[in-house]
Amino acid sequence: MRRRALVFGWLPAGAAARATSKDPRLKNAFRRPEKNGWTFVRLAGAPREIGFQHGNLLAPEIQDAFRVIAYNLTSEGKKEWPFFREAAEKTFWPRVEDEYRQELEGIVEGLNAKGAKLDLWDLVAYNAALEFSPNYLNWFNRKQNPSAALRLSTADRCSAFVATGSYTRDGRIVIGHNNWTGYADGARWSMIFEISPAKGYRILMDGLPGYIHSGDDFGMNSAGIAITETTITQFDGFDPGGIPEFARARKAMQYANSIDEFARLMREGNNGAYANNWLVADRNSGEIASLELGLKNVELRRTKDGYLSGANFPVSEKLAREETDFPMNDAGASANARRIRWDQLMAEHKGRIDVAAGQRFLSDHYDTFQNKVEPNERTLCGHVDLSPRGLGRWQPPFGMAGTVQAKVADAAMVERLSLTACMGHPCGLHFRAADHLRRYPRFNASKPYLRNLPSRGWTDFGPDTK
């Protein structure tokens, strides 16, 4: 199928930052200059105010990231952009509650005030991107023609851990996560949001510009709850009558004051899309938990002395059997190799896990299948671009994907709403787009969307970021 190039109105980079405004909706919001690849943004107020601030302060970045996500969706799904807009309006929007409708509408207002041409259905589809591919698309294609349905695979996204009790240096929680995705969109996953909503708890989280949720889901709130997740790979399921995951994830980040409340908010209206193993920590009680959230199978595990890890593997054999085609016994599969590595690292560092250890874990290059150090698709710090095997149905050999950034926090940091983060591979290796395309010209169609992804080193962020 011949596809038209995607063209969207956008502003030159930096235009929004240079512009001045006397709009009273911006009085409690600001953005800091980029620091080691990250942009820190503060948003505060009622939902529509928060949205307006978001769209206004980040207009160039939102339009740039939107262009990449729209290209990804139309390329993967073999659908034109109006298909996604229509699904956003008819399937996702009706189940978004009013608070987040107002915030999304406010983002559009903020964008439009800066001359951007994106509208509400563009923005809703953009926020639901991780639910569209593959969950919604697989569901839609089966509904249209079961015998000829395009089967897309859930990507291997992210490595994460949470530990407490006898496993950590001070007996309190430590939580860490690195984001696996394509390098084109991953280079834009560079926002640190501090959000002070009129209702609920203050939030600190990473994210894509224009997302009301984190998306890769690392964050914390002022009630002392820290949250992250990894995708359940090769999962297939979707309920069109459910609440969008992007709305539930944001609500849980904003309103949960306990592990039980987090689990309730994520389960309520579960649509099965973007199914994850959520890792949650309560800095007040020292308890940690894993909420494995499929569509048919949901299980909550918790402890005050131990660790929980995520690397895209299904924990529940029942979930794996009924809702995935995941190869549980294949030691060479990326998720299984990384699961083994997490167990090794936790055992080796029991009693000594802290923020510095977490940074090293997320930079790890030990391949448990080959029993050697080699950065590739099987290591906690992922480098699919260096792998002659690629990564299952998600990425071909030498595909331009892997770890794009990482974050870690301990109980003391969660208490003051702060984290340490690294943009780019935390191991220190750089991705150079032109060099990779020169070696593998078959990926040249992605050239307009690619950026270099240098490793920037670890940087601390919090509400008092200077």
The answer to whether the beta carbons of residues 315 and 229 sit under 8 Å apart is no
Q: Which of 115, 148, 181 is where one domain is finished?
A: 148
Please check whether residue 11 lies inside any domain of the structure: no
Q: Which of 95, 121, 148 is where one domain is finished?
A: 148
pLDDT tens, position by position, 137-182: 999 999 998 876 657 888 889 999 999 999 999 999 999 999 999 9
Shared domain check, 163 and 143? no
Q: Which residue has 């807009």 as its token pair? A: 85
- At 457 the pLDDT is 94
Please check whether residue 80 lies inside any domain of the structure: yes
CATH number at residue 177: 3.60.60.20
The answer to whether the beta carbons of residues 407 and 420 sit under 8 Å apart is yes
Shared domain check, 136 and 186? no
Shared domain check, 219 and 82? no
Shared domain check, 182 and 143? no
Shared domain check, 174 and 140? no
Please check whether residue 71 lies inside any domain of the structure: yes
Shared domain check, 79 and 222? no
Domain span at residue 397 reads 159-459
Shared domain check, 142 and 181? no
Shared domain check, 58 and 188? no
Please check whether residue 402 lies inside any domain of the structure: yes
pLDDT tens, position by position, 184-239: 999 999 999 999 999 999 999 999 999 999 999 999 999 999 999 999 999 999 99
Shared domain check, 106 and 217? no
Please check whether residue 1 lies inside any domain of the structure: no
Distance from C-alpha of 80 to C-alpha of 84, rounded to nearest angstrom: 8
Distance from C-alpha of 276 to C-alpha of 229, rounded to nearest angstrom: 6
Please check whether residue 353 lies inside any domain of the structure: yes
**Dihedral through CA 343, CA 345, CA 348, CA 351, nearest 10?**
-90
- At 314 the pLDDT is 97
Determine what percent of the chain is predicted with pLDDT higher than 70: 94
Token pair in block for residue 103: 């915030």
- At 150 the pLDDT is 59
What value does the mean pLDDT take over residues 365-379?
98
- At 152 the pLDDT is 82
Shared domain check, 122 and 167? no
Q: Which of 148, 176, 191 is where one domain is finished?
A: 148
Shared domain check, 188 and 107? no
Shared domain check, 372 and 245? yes
- At 465 the pLDDT is 52
Please check whether residue 244 lies inside any domain of the structure: yes
pLDDT tens, position by position, 389-398: 999 989 999 9
* 9 pLDDT tier (thresholds 50, 70, 90): very low
Please check whether residue 178 lies inside any domain of the structure: yes
Axis-axis angle for helices 245-255, 259-267 (nearest 10): 160
How many CB atoms sit inside 10 A of residue 61's CB?
A: 24
CATH number at residue 110: 1.10.439
Number of domains making up the chain:
2
